[in-house]
Amino acid sequence: MNTDDDLPRMSLSDHLDELRTRLWRSVLAVLVGMIVSFCFWRELMEFVIRPFREASRLVGAEGEIVTPDPADGFLQVIKLCFITGVVFVSPLVLWQLWGFVAAGLYDREKRYVRLFFPVSLGLFALGLVCAYVLLIPFGLRFLVGWNEAIGAQSWFSLKAYLSMCLTMVFGMGLVFQLPLIMLFLQAVDIVPRATFLKGWRVAIVMSFVLGMILTDPSPVTQIAMAVPIVGLYFLGIWGGQFVGENAVAFRWYKAWPLVIAIAFFVAMLVYADQLNDWAAGAFGMEEAPKEAPAKGR
């Protein structure tokens, strides 16, 4: 049983000094990451715009990413380099955050933090990859294809395009933390597993609400985000039986839901192009017809 004696004794000034030190380390790390990213701003911008160009090619559309404001190009490059720097140094920043929070945790809770931290980074990275490989291409192909269908060219503002992409990327990265958060809440007995089981209907509704908030207006993208959220929620419920005071012993044959989830996400990444083709056909956004080869005279 945990008692107050298990907690480290730190004065308010000690806590403030600790917070100030960790904040300065985090700010310095972000600054270094931003400077390094700026050295590769051309490659970064090409990497971000590539899904738009690919979507335009697939539907045979003519369009460009434009900068209506004279300073927009420079400002958006700075923004992109800042975000990229934050992503690259996020392990260090998160470690500083966890280190400050750990000062107020019991030893048992600290063990969970040390276990969950590397898993959290892996899930965040997987969410970023899924957004770039699945969500953004799906949404752009739908939007560009719809514009082409009504006879309108797709001239996207760089500011709006970048904001849309970053929202989906970071939204997916945070969404992938859901099962880990659920496991932590169950492990420290804050929220029992029965509560998550009872709220599965609300979770499904909220998954589609999040899909509408964090993605573009395309229904393809919203569904593509909502479905993984639902799967991650039930994965968190499944894992809850192995943590906490009433945890059951883990056996390898009980890992089948995790194996199915991993196989599902790997299949989605591997067959992303085929899924995109299918989704485009389902919503009437067919691929641009190929030009017939010229016949010899």
Each residue's pLDDT tens digit, 182-198: 988 888 788 988 899 99
Alpha-carbon distance of 86 to 173, in angstroms, equals 13
Domain boundaries of the chain, sorted by first residue: 13-282
Q: Are 258 and 123 in contact (CB under 8 A)?
A: no
Q: Are 214 and 136 in contact (CB under 8 A)?
A: no
Q: Residue 285 is encoded by which pair of tokens?
A: 């956004």
Q: Residue 263 is encoded by which pair of tokens?
A: 């196989």
Q: What is the pLDDT of residues 238-272, one digit of tens each?
A: 998 888 777 888 888 888 888 998 898 888 888 88
Lowest mean pLDDT, pick from 85-89, 100-104, 142-146, 196-200: 100-104
What pLDDT shows up at residue 290? 44
Chain Cα centroid distance, residue 143: 21
Q: What percent of the chain has pLDDT above 90? A: 23
Kindly report the pTM of this predicted structure. Answer: 0.81
- Maximum Cα interatomic distance, the chain, rounded to a whole number of Å: 93
Alpha-carbon distance of 251 to 261, in angstroms, equals 17
Q: Residue 73 is encoded by which pair of tokens?
A: 């190009």
What pLDDT shows up at residue 283? 62
Reference 212, options 203, 197, 200, 224; nearest CA is 224
Average pLDDT of 76-105?
82
Burial of 251 (0-12, 13-18, 19+ CB in 10 A): exposed
Alpha-carbon distance of 195 to 120, in angstroms, equals 23
Determine phi and psi for 237, rounding to 5 degrees: -65, -45
Q: Are 244 and 154 in contact (CB under 8 A)?
A: no
Alpha-carbon distance of 16 to 63, in angstroms, equals 52
